[in-house]
Structure 1
Amino acid sequence: MNAIETLEIFRLKSVLKMPYTFLCIEKVLAENYFKWLRLKIIKHKENYYLIGKGKLQPVGCENSYEIQVKFSPFLEGIRFENIKIINPKIEFHPKIHMYHNTSLCLYYPKDHFGHVPLFRSLQWTSEWLVKYEFFKRFGVWIGNEVKH
């Protein structure tokens, strides 16, 4: 294990020791960058989650989309974010970057050591929507992809 991996493991342990503080920072960063989003921190059982909704219409998109965000180190899987389009509802399709639970596949996890900050995932959500509208029009997903 190299020094960077050791530091990341230490940082992740710190996040798990102080999840409320971690989520407060993520909330401030996300709401600072994205005025369309309203987030709140909730406690469920012993764990904290950052949840929220907002309407987004990226430049170049014909439609406005209602986005639902869940973010926490306690979500299942290796990602901290779970971002879904809730209106208009987008059904799972094997050719678009979406999981079977309809959360968006915004990046290849092996390309990002550790967690991806929420504000970065939200930036990629805008890009995802532009690509989705191209897919609806032409039937092809534009951009890089990794088969997984």
Structure 2
Amino acid sequence: MANSHFREQPISLAEQIVVMKRYFPKFIVHWRRNIVCWIGEIQPGAISQRYRIKIVHQLHKVPQIFVLKPQLVATRDERVPHTYPGNRLCLYHPKKREWDQQMHIATTIVPWTSLWLTYYEFWQATGEWLGGGEHPELSRSSKKTMQIVASLR
């Protein structure tokens, strides 16, 4: 029986890097101290455009995902749905623990990003977001992490 006072150890950054390389060998990796950053291209579907994405991950923090190119564009008077400030993608609700540090980013975050981009393209065409979900507020610690990420650019 597991002791509830001890949290499981997160997957190491080294293991995350190895698994990402296996699934997405063309992604470029930058690793500095306890922060790893991947930049690569994905294409959600056969008729979709290619997107250059950036994933930043720090141990004990949630991954942060950005679309670098093409720039995400809002329609009408709306901002792009399910994004945080700085066009950081909102792929899941952090408090619902849909992603945790025992999951590989390559097999969760990257496919979820591809799905998000599919919903984004449909939203661009129709004005309707079919991705569902709810958008949580940004915490103070997330704002501080955003400042650290901005320094990596």
TM range (shorter): 0.7 to 0.9
Alignment partner of 1:124: what SS?
helix
Tell me the amino acid that sits aligned with residue 132 of structure 2.
Answer: N
* Superposition map of 1:1-148 within 5 A: 3=2, 5-7=4-6, 9-12=7-10, 22-43=12-33, 48-73=34-59, 78-79=61-62, 81-91=63-73, 94=79, 96-112=81-97, 114-115=100-101, 116-119=103-106, 120-148=108-136
Name the structure where helix makes up a greater proportion of residues: 1
By how many angstroms is 1:98 displaced? 0.7
> What's the C-alpha RMSD, in Å, of the aligned pairs?
2.5
Percent identity over the alignment? 24
Unaligned runs of 5+ in 1: 16-21
Per-residue CA deviation, residues 85-118 of structure 1 (Å, 9 max, x unaligned), is 0111115754511101211101111222643532
Deviation at 1:146, TM superposition (A): 2.1
Per-residue CA distance 1:61-102 (angstroms, 9 max, x = gap) = 42111111211126xxx52x1110011111575451110121
Unpaired runs of 5+ residues, structure 2, are: 137-153
Superposition deviation, residue 136 in structure 1: 0.3
For 2:45 and 2:23, locate their aligned partners in 1 and report how far apart those are by CA, in whole Å: 16
Closer/same/farther in 2, CA of residues 90 and 147 from structure 1, 3 Å limit: closer
Distance 1:105 1:61, change over 3 A: farther
SS in structure 2 at match of 1:28 = helix
- Number of residues paired by the alignment? 130
TM superposition shift of 1:133: 0.3
Distance change >3 Å, CA 39–CA 4, structure 1 → 2: farther
